[in-house]
Amino acid sequence: MRRATVRSLLPLACAAAAACSSGSPVKPAAAEQPVASVRYTCAQNKTIAAEYFNGPTRTAPNGQPIPGGRVDVSLSDGRKLSVPQTLSGSGIRYANADESFVFWGKGDTAFVEEGKTMTYTGCVAAKS
């Protein structure tokens, strides 16, 4: 069995990165930046920190466009979730695949629904 060496793998790595042949250094991908960061103050002294990200629009089987963004939420109970954007008739809606966690936002307000229960209510964006 022949051991692979860095030198033997270099041609494969360069084939995947056009920069090897040009002599240009390979730049690491830039970290994705949120388009907005919002901190919400909610009822019962709860808080939500939300970072909103854009993404490419997808097409549903019925031809409807599906927004491709996501929100990363940090809840005051310690949970952190990344939830994809879904269709909404009004405002902006994010939900996991089985819709057991839904984050809704409209204007300066937001709420979280888990199952049939609203767990974070009366949330208002903090003014900076």
Tokens of 123: 């949330």
| pTM attached to this predicted model | 0.69
Cβ partners under 8 Å of residue 118, min gap 6: 111, 112
**Is the pLDDT score of 15 beyond 70?**
no
Alpha-carbon span 128 to 124, nearest angstrom: 12
Name the β-bridge partners of 7. none
Domains and CATH numbers, the chain: 36-125 (2.40.128.200)
At 78-96, the pLDDT tens digits run 999 999 998 888 889 999 9
Residues 6+ apart with CB under 8 A from 13: 20
- DSSP-assigned beta bridge partners for residue 87: none
Mean pLDDT estimate for the chain = 80
- pLDDT, residue 25, reads 54
